[in-house]
Amino acid sequence: MSGAVGGFTDLLDETNAESATFISNAGEVPGSYAAYTLVQTTGNIGSSTFIANPASVPDAEGGWVETDYGTASGATFIANGATVANCQAGQIYAYGLSGYATYTAKGGNGSGSEGGLIDIYSLPPSDQRWL
């Protein structure tokens, strides 16, 4: 169903997420939108894990996570690469966050498949690994 919209999780206001796991899955049919997680909290996301999964069908949006502000205490962000050609990978948009976090973009696994995306505007001190 083209134009279908995925679910979302918003961490807003004074939300705290000690050590939760958030998974943003991709759209499942061509033209569909993915699920996303948005972090805009004056609270602390702690050591939570945020995973953005890739689409597995062409022209579907990959899952994404956006951080605008908040505090991390060892959080982990993972953008998974696609396994099928012409599919959008998982995406992490790091526009603002304080504290410490680890960001990992995993490569595509297949001919013509897209690797995970990390778009950095502003982020805390972090490990940078390429897998």
Q: Taken in order 50, 71, 66, 36, is the CA torsion positive or negative?
A: positive
The mean pLDDT values, 10 residues at a time, for the chain of 131 residues are 76 92 94 94 94 94 94 94 93 90 92 92 59 51
For 79: left if phi > 0, alpha if psi spans -120 to 50, otherwise beta; the answer is beta
The residues with which 22 forms a beta bridge, in sequence order, are 50
- State pLDDT tens for residues 10-42: 999 999 998 999 999 999 999 999 999 999 999
pTM of the model: 0.89
pLDDT of 21:
97
